[in-house]
Amino acid sequence: MESFSLNSAKSFLGKNVNLHLKDGSVIINVHLTCIRKGNYGKGSLIEYVPYGNHRQTLIPLRNVAWAERLNLNLMSTAD
């Protein structure tokens, strides 16, 4: 399994994903909005918005182990 890289992150932009972090935790159902450069050009940051929220959050790219794409059609409920 290859590591999560900048190119991998770009393929998930605009999608809803679960972010699996290297420490074993999971950030569930987030929408990846953009990738930013870190302070002084060191590292990259992933910007995401949690489902049902409008506040953007940043996480360092190096903390993400992998991302799992979500199918929102499976999560919709019938009225």
Spatial strand order in the sheet of 57-60:
57-60, 44-50, 26-37, 16-21, 64-69
pLDDT tens figures, 1-11: 567 899 999 99
Which residues sit opposite 36 in a β-bridge? 45
Instruction: Output DSSP code: residue 71.
Output: -
Residue 73 has pLDDT above 90, yes or no: no
Does residue 39 fall inside a structural domain?
yes
CATH number for the domain that contains residue 19: 2.30.30.100
Does residue 78 fall inside a structural domain?
no
Does residue 1 fall inside a structural domain?
no
Does residue 41 fall inside a structural domain?
yes
Q: Hey, how many other C-beta atoms are within 10 angstroms of the C-beta on 36?
A: 12
What is the extent of the structural domain holding 23? 6-72
Q: Is this prediction's pTM over 0.85?
A: no
Does residue 53 fall inside a structural domain?
yes
Does residue 79 fall inside a structural domain?
no
Phi, psi of 42, rounded to the nearest 5 degrees: -95, 125
Question: How many separate domains does the chain show?
Answer: 1
Would strands 64-69 and 16-21 be described as parallel, antiparallel, or unpaired? Answer: antiparallel
